Copies of this chain bind each other. A is one copy, B any other.
Amino acid sequence: MNGYKRRLKRLKYNPVTEDILKELVDIVGEKNVLTDEAKIEAYSHDETPKEKYASFPEVVVLPNSTEEVSSLVKLANRELIPVTPRGAGSGLSGGAIPDHGGIVISLENMNKVIEYDFGNMMMVLEAGVITNDVQEDLEDEGLFFAGYPMSLESCFIGGNIAENAGGGKAVKYGVTGRYIMGMEVVLPNGEIVELGGKNVKDVTGYDLKKLMIGSEGTLGIVTQATIKLLPKPTKEVALLVLFDDAKTAISTVPKIMTETGIIPTGIEFMDKLAVKTSCEYLNEHLPYEDCGAMLLIEVDGADEEQVEKDYFKIGEICEKNNAQEVYVADNHTTSERVWNVRRNIAEAFMVVSPEQSLEDITVPIASIPDLIPELQRLGEKYDIQIPCYGHAGDGNLHATLVKNPDHTMEEWYEIEHECLKELYEVTYKLGGTLSGEHGIGSKRKKYFKSAVSGEELRLMRMIKKGFDPNNIMNPGKIFDLED
């Protein structure tokens, strides 16, 4: 049934013919046009389960410049061939998967730093630069980029923008979008536009830059970005706080901020199963055996004494709220060990049980404690495990539905769907929504209408049609143009 529907939808697009392939070669050169099945397999999926979401492109092209991207998109728009922009493929909602075949435009060759502008505390980058490379590049400059997705070792800056990636420092610093000052975008008609620039403030017309951020590659392809840098904190301390159970841990989260008045860099939550799975995957040992849940709290600053005062106050609040133990990781190596466990949870679960649904629900921080018992209830009701971890300080939790080995794949898909529907209903009731940082993509598309009003959907469709009248740019992601 699914296959049939897909074919029906594809009817309106044209196939990538031999003639088109020749034109693509003319634009980017032969070695940058991939059609070999073994080579393009890597572009058929992201970090969502392959069996459910993978879809092959007809061709993958690797442009080397914005002008080449522009020519590629003009060609696709003229010939009505779908285009799927792709960063590192580390996405978690299927955003970079070519659901309708066509052309995948991978930004991997466009990985140069265009400009270091330390006088403005900014950098100009091509979209294919790896996020962590920026940090390493800045190591000696006393500056840093505050975007910090968990996949920072692989993800591209362009993908971070397309998804408005969050991550581990968002409680204090906010998400990627806050640090994107300007961008160069190839629109669905192939025209190149510069949005924003190096002005700290700018109210000259509608904020198209902000509209582009988080639009999941459906409104254009980000080819360059001007990012804002901050003075690098000279001191960082991570607290690893152990609790008896998830509810006690999570209840402490809002209090950390409201009772101390301190905004930590990040407050990460991991339940026991999440820590255990990641530790086993990494062959790492954290003192998790005796606890039901952990908070990983990071504090940073320019002043060592201040940071010490802050983490001491936070530790006290945790102890007052029945923490078992507060461990202090005040050097980079220890802190990095703990963060590594946190960063690898998603990957560890994918290895242990590829049949799963990694969720990205977000609720107001005061409502987080009410969410945990609901997860437990749903796990019991559907007879599945729902480990939970995530950016508790933002109210953004990666509850993960894991297939019970006793269930058939058919049963699992049914359970997954029913359980997700119920999970989202619970989330909405708590004032929350579908996705905090992973995006809608194709994974959450069928639930999207439950999360927005009819008027919002109407406006989003209108914007999409206006930007992309032929619907060639990452078509079918987030929402369909018609019911």
Give A residues with C-beta under 8 Å from B. Answer: 117-122, 142, 163-164, 166, 170-171, 174-175, 178, 187, 191, 193-195, 197-208, 210-211, 213-215, 219, 230-232, 254, 257-258, 261-263, 302-303, 305-306, 309, 362-366, 391, 394-396, 431-440, 448, 451-453, 455-457, 459-460, 462-464, 466-467, 478-479
Q: How many copies does the complex hold?
A: 2
Contact A120 B231 (CB under 8 A): no
Partner of A436 from the list B201, B394, B433, B452 (CB cut-off 8 Å) is: B201
Contact A395 B200 (CB under 8 A): yes
Determine the distance from Cα of A363 to Cα of B438 in the docked complex, in whole angstroms.
34
Determine the distance from Cα of A111 to Cα of B455 in the docked complex, in whole angstroms.
26
Determine the distance from Cα of A364 to Cα of B121 in the docked complex, in whole angstroms.
10
* Interface SS, A side: loop
Which residues of chain B come closer than 8 Å to A142, judged between CB atoms?
A: 261
Determine the distance from Cα of A350 to Cα of B436 in the docked complex, in whole angstroms.
46
Least distance between A246 CB and chain B CB atoms (Å)? 19
Contact B302 A261 (CB under 8 A): yes
Contact B119 A460 (CB under 8 A): no
Which residues of chain B come closer than 8 Å to A163, judged between CB atoms?
A: 203
Contact B455 A466 (CB under 8 A): no
Determine the distance from Cα of A171 to Cα of B433 in the docked complex, in whole angstroms.
31
Contact B366 A302 (CB under 8 A): no
CB-defined A-B contacts under 8 Å, sample of 5: A164-B203, A187-B455, A199-B431, A203-B435, A204-B440
Least distance between A353 CB and chain B CB atoms (Å)? 26
Least distance between A304 CB and chain B CB atoms (Å)? 11
Contact A462 B466 (CB under 8 A): yes
Partner of A204 from the list B119, B171, B433 (CB cut-off 8 Å) is: B433
Q: Given A262-B231, A453-B193, is A119 in contact with B254 using a C-beta cutoff of 8 Å?
A: yes
Contact A394 B200 (CB under 8 A): yes
